[in-house]
Structure 1
Amino acid sequence: MNDRILFLFFLILVLASCSKINKAKDLLTHSSAQEIYKRDLYINDDIFKIWENEKQKALVYDSVAIDLPYQESGRFFPKSFSVYSYLIELHRGDLLSVEVKLDSTSSLAFIDIFTLETSGFKNIIGSEFGKQKLQLEIAEDKLYKVIIQPEIDAGSYFNIKINRSPAYLFPVAGGKNRDAQSFWGAQRDGGKRAHEGVDIFAKRGTPVIASTAGRITYMGEKGLGGKQVWLRDLKRSQSLYYAHLDSIASINKNQVKAGDTLGFVGNTGNARTTPPHLHFGIYRSNRGAINPYHFIKQNDVKPLNNENFYPNHLNGLVTRNANLRNSNSVKNSEIIQKLAQGDTIQILGRSSEWYHIKATSSKNTSFLHSSLATPLN
């Protein structure tokens, strides 16, 4: 008995040591979540290759576009090799968040985010192994593709949420998107210069707040901006410019917190003939002014909070002639294929009144209005 206990003890030590070695190796080699999955769960090489190839197909062929916020629910079926691919237009200053909630703690899902480059799609970030959540601050105005792939034997219901939010707080207390009425690039002085910021109109004396934590590098009155504050965002190596203030608040220059009052809306400087407003700009040391709007743009639509799992079936039947669309909307989509009554489809999930589907005659996924098909048992 003692020998058996001793053997088990050493076996545990060996396994623990191997685990630590693998973790250290992953840090050095930057192993992807998929590579760790294959190694730690002893996935067969041939099956893993099929699984990986399905992801590559989705990356190349799938072009369904979505507006944010987006939510989809459904069910992962073992060895169905389903891939969920979404094309999204994003801008510098957006915070993209992707989350997959599962009804089984033993199932895994993998999230990857790609940018569209001239040479094709480039992977820029992937979720950690065992994590079904990923957030990315967007650095460039581009098309992005989000790919979600369940593990090979996943058999659970899911709820996918994709959303964007601004990286910064809105700089005028209580302000809304509609208060911004003069944007980046607008002509000034008869076309002699372009507007390097966004103007946010509000009542005189409305508090102007720090959109992020940082330190103040200048506060005072000079030039076209009149009374102004410069706040350095150390995290992003850029400076936030608050101009035309009626007055400047008293604040600790070196310990500014997000939400602190920096001053109050006015029309000093060259804004004396205009209604009170804040000119808000962002400047990078090596690139000059950049468009600040998406850093502060609030969500036009509230995120969806439905946590229910849609009990969909793997297959469906088209009930009458139908149009397949590249987005879950009639207004903002294109017809990419037509199906006839009686055609079969693979149902990936459901987003509001739309099925996210793959037709048996197509390499692409698409959206089909739920009134045009019925699930098969």
Structure 2
Amino acid sequence: MSAGRIKGIFRWVFFLWLLIHLAKASECFCSLGDSSTPAQSRPNAASEIVGFMKSKTCFNGISQPGMEWIKVDKTEIFIRKHSLTACPDGLAQITSGIHHTRNGFETLKTQKTTNSRLRREERRFLLDSVNHAQCDFEVQSFCSWRNIQGGQDDFDWVLYQSSTPTDDTGPKFDHTLNNATGSYIFIESSAPRNTLDTAWIQSPEINATVEPVHCFRFWYHMFGSSIGSLNIYQVTHGILPGNLVWSLTGAQGSTWMEGQVPLSSNHSYSMLISGIVGDGYQGDIAIDDVSVSPGYCDVKPSIASRTNVTNTAIQCTLCKVNPQLCFVLTKVEMCPDSYCINEVTNKEDGSKWVDRRCGTYDECENDWWHSTSDDPDCQDYKPDQNTMKDIHCTYCCTTDNCNRDIKPAQDTLYTHPKK
């Protein structure tokens, strides 16, 4: 083979390599400054939300032409492009960790590793959301939760793996991984502890949102012959321990149990978990997998309720049958999350249909970001007239039976608080 042909082949190989490299080049992105940003397990809006990125946080991500999702560098986590912005000019870049820069942003640059536990830590900026207090206590971390110091309580919660030191109390394993490598937190009730000694651990501050109600979820383990009490408080204005919203006393069985409680989110707040020692050494209480998410939830278990937050359900018009007949065949039902949706499709041949359904905060927020109902075609759309044009509009509204009309009244439509 001639030298000229070899050079030609080399140029083509290099050109292909360069195209692939550029298509996968890592860029700097930042989340917007007014709310936390959901991160998902796949580039699909219906996929699992694995955590939230704090507002005004920057990271390295991979953007491919035509794709609406950004892949966080060195992870299998995806964030929608419309939730991000380009890094501001002059943003300081670093080699690892999260640090504040002079313009008020935070940066995170992940590093490649073959250690699975370190890979979990690279994702900590998502799994440990400062705005949503989410933590699974893996990689030997309290996340942003902290034990209260200064003498306001008697002792500290302990980060632990496998079974607790005392027999016949506490869990065998954590809840997240259910094996000896998984971590959780617990209170040790053995000496030198005394009956009614109390340990407090507090979340970071959780921002108020347009969603009027949040749900605090966690898993608890209360097994032993001398279990004391587990109390959950919502702290506002920094006054500890805050307002008691959930409480259980005594043994609850030898398995992990799910707890949850609705919270008012009109003001910023934090969560405080209080463990109280019972009348003996077999009273270890454990906690794992804590999180806060938008929307109402029923108290679990119901006997633990100490809250006056009620369901925010509203009436919505829903389809009796399929969307093709939903212009006329409808029914009215209660929807649990305060959102009604009309998703309207109009085709060039004049055919049209509407899917009326209960909505969620995530759906309405995503549609707001896409400006679906603000599109000129959606603004001008007249359902009672024949329109020979392809139009797709999603209207999300927030008052009782607001979606009875195909195009809900403008003053009932969901609007982001910063708009």
Greater fraction strand: 1
TM-score normalized with structure 2 length: 0.25
TM-score normalized with structure 1 length: 0.27
Specify which structure has the bigger relative contact order, considering alpha-carbon pairs within 8 angstroms and separated by 6 or more residues.
1
